Structure 1
Amino acid sequence: MTTKNDGIPDPSVRTLRQLFDDGQIALEMSRRERATSADAIDDRVRFGHFAARIEDAVTEVLDGIHTVPAEARPSVAALVVRSLRLLQSLSSEADDIEFGLYKSLSLVAQTLRRTEQFADGLDFVCQQLNVVTGGPVLCSRVVDDQWRVVASSGVASSVVGSSVLLATGSAEHLALTERRPTPSIRPAQQAGGVVENALGTDSYIVAPLVSSRNTYGLIHCGFTGPDPTSMCAFLSLLGELVTLAWTNRSNDAEFDEFESRVRREFEPHSAHRDVPGRRAGEQVALTRREREVLQLVLHGVSNARIATTLFISVETVKSHVKNVLRKCGAVNRSELIAQFPAGGARIGAIRTSA
C-alpha cells in the first residue's frame, strides 16, 4: 500500500472510507425518512449492497494491514472499527425493515381472512404492496387467454376492468408458465400499452397467482431498481398468500401454517433451534430458504453476498448456515462443500420441509 500526505494508505483504505461515509449517509437518511418512506424493499437492497461492499473492503484492508506504515495503523484500525459498527447498524436496520415486511404480509393475511368481499381484499393487497415498494400495482384475474384488471393502487390512470390478451412470450405468459415472478422483457413482447400506461413505466415485475391445479391471476408491480431479486422474493411470498386466499379463504389452518412459515423465513434464528445433527444415511430435510443458502454456499458466495441476493440480513444468513451445517452433520463450510462434490447438483435430492 502506498500512502498519502494525510497518512492514510491507498487505495483500499480510501475505498473503505468512502463506503463508510456513503453508508452512514444512507443510514441517517433512512432513519429520518422512515415515517414517510414507501420504498422499504429498495432500502433493504441498498443496505444489503452497502453491507456486502463494506465487508469486502474491510477484508481487503485487513489482508494488507502488514504493509501499512506504523504511524498510519491507528487511523486505519479506527476506520475498521467504525466500519464494523456501521455494518452492524446496517444489519440491524435491515432486520427492522424485514420485520416491517413480515408485519405487512401478516396484515394482508388477516385482511383476506376477514374481508367478506374478496375484491376488497385484493384492493388492500394492492395498497399494501404500493406502500412497501413505492411502485404502482395492478392485480388481475386470468380467464382463458386473457387477464382482466380487478384492483390497483398508485396507478397513473384507472384501468380496472381492462382486459389484455395473454400473449405467448410475454412476461405475463412466462410468469404463469414458469410459476415464478418475472421481470418485464423487451417492449415487443409486452402487453400492448395497457400496463405501461397504467404503471407509468415499461419496467415492472409480474407475479403469478397459481396453485398446483388452477391459474387465478397476476400481480404487476412497477420496478425501477437495478436488481429485481429482492422484489421477486417478496412478490413470491405475497403471491402465495393471495393464491391461498383465492383458493380457500375459509381454511384457517392453511392460513396459520402460511403465517408460521413466513415467520420462520423472517425470523429463522428461532426456527429449528433444537434440530439434531444428521445420522449416517438419514435424508436431509431443509426449508426452502435453507436450500437457497446451501446452493450459494456451495458456490463459494460470502454471507454478505448471500444476504444481498436473498433479501435477508447477514445475521439471518449466519443462522441459516448454522442450521444447514447441523442438519447435514458438517462442522464447517469446507466439510459441507465436501459432501456435495458436484457443486450443488445433488441438492435436488434433498427433501424440502414445511
Structure 2
Amino acid sequence: MSRVSGIRDLRLGLGKDGDVPDDFLIARNPDGDSSLPYLVRIPLGPNGIVLKVREMWPRTTKVYCHRADCWPPEADIVERVGTRSCNRRGAAIELVLDRGRENRSQFVLTYVRGREAIFWQSARTTKQARPRVTLPRARAGGPASEPDVPRELEILVDVHERYGWKFSGQQVTTRRAPLAVGDYAVESDGEIVAAVERKSLEDLSSSLLSGKLRYALAELSGVPRAAVVVEERYSRVFALRHVRPAAVADAIAECQARYPSVPIFFAETRALAQEWTYRFLAAAAHEVRLEAAGEARFGSLPKAGPAPAAPATTAEVRAWALEHGYAVSDRGRLRPEIRSAYEQAHRASG
C-alpha cells in the first residue's frame, strides 16, 4: 500500500483494517507500584492499543499516559463503553464513545523537551490538538524547526493555467507541470497529495450548468485533500444576469452534497483566493508529514490483544437458566449459584 492510499484510508476513518471498533475498556493497573492506577484499551486495529493512565477521563486537565507492557489476561475491568468510532489522524487517535456525555476525546503522541509524551485530552481540556504544530503567522505549513520541513513550499502550477498566480507575497517556489487534476497542487514522494481548482464566478456557473465541474469534482475527490476556490463572494451568485441564479445555487449545493470531501470556497477576491490556496496547500503538506510520522509512532505502541468478551447480561443468564430447568423469577436479581452455574457451563463448553 502506498503512502497516499494509506492516508486516504485514514481520512475515510477505515484505518488499515477497516474493522468496526470494539468496546473501549478501562481496567485497574495490576502494578501496585505504578503511579498510573488505570489501564485503557483503545480499540484501534484488530489488537487494540494498551496504555497506562492517571485518570479514567480527562475532565479538568490533560491526562498523562505511558506505554504499558500488555493487557492483563484477567483484567479487573472497571468500565466498558461501546465505541462509535476510533480513527487515527497523524499523531493523534480520535475516539468517540457510544454515550451522551464524556464521549469525545483524543490521545496525542507528542514530544516534551525532546522526549516522547502521550496525553489524553477532551474538548474541555484543550481547544484543538495540533501535535508539534504552532499556528502559522507569516509562514504556513508548520514551524521551520521541525525536521524535514522545507523553508519554502513548492507549488505545482498546471501548464494550461493562463495568468497563473505567482504567490509572490509568500514563501513559495512554483514549478509548472502538467497536472492531471486541479490547477495548483503539492506532492509528496512524487504523488499529488493536495490540489486546488481555481474558478472565476462566470467559469464556475458555466461549468456547473454544463456538468463539466461534476467530472472535475469526481477527479478531485480521488486526491487525499482537494478544494475548489472561487475568486468571488457567494452573494454574487444571486446577481448573475445571463443564467438563473437559483439554478447555479442549487448546482453548488448538489455538488457539495455529492462530493463532501471537496469544499467549494468563496474567497471574495483574487488576492484572497491566492492566499487561501497557499494556506490550504501548506496545511495539507504538513498533515501528510504528520500522518507519515504517526504511522511509525503508533506502530511501535504495545498491542492489547483481542478484546475480552463482555459479561453476560441478567436477561441472558435468566434465559439460560429457564432453558436448563433452574427455578428463577421473572424479574429482579439472580441468585449467585445461578450465575455461577452459567459461568461453569460456558467455561466447560468454551
> The TM-score by the shorter chain falls in which range?
under 0.3
* TM-score, structure 1 normalization: 0.25
Q: Higher strand proportion, which one?
A: 2
Larger C-alpha radius of gyration, 1 or 2? 2
- Relative to total residues, which structure has the larger helix share, 1 or 2? 1
Give me the TM-score of the superposition, normalised by structure 2: 0.25
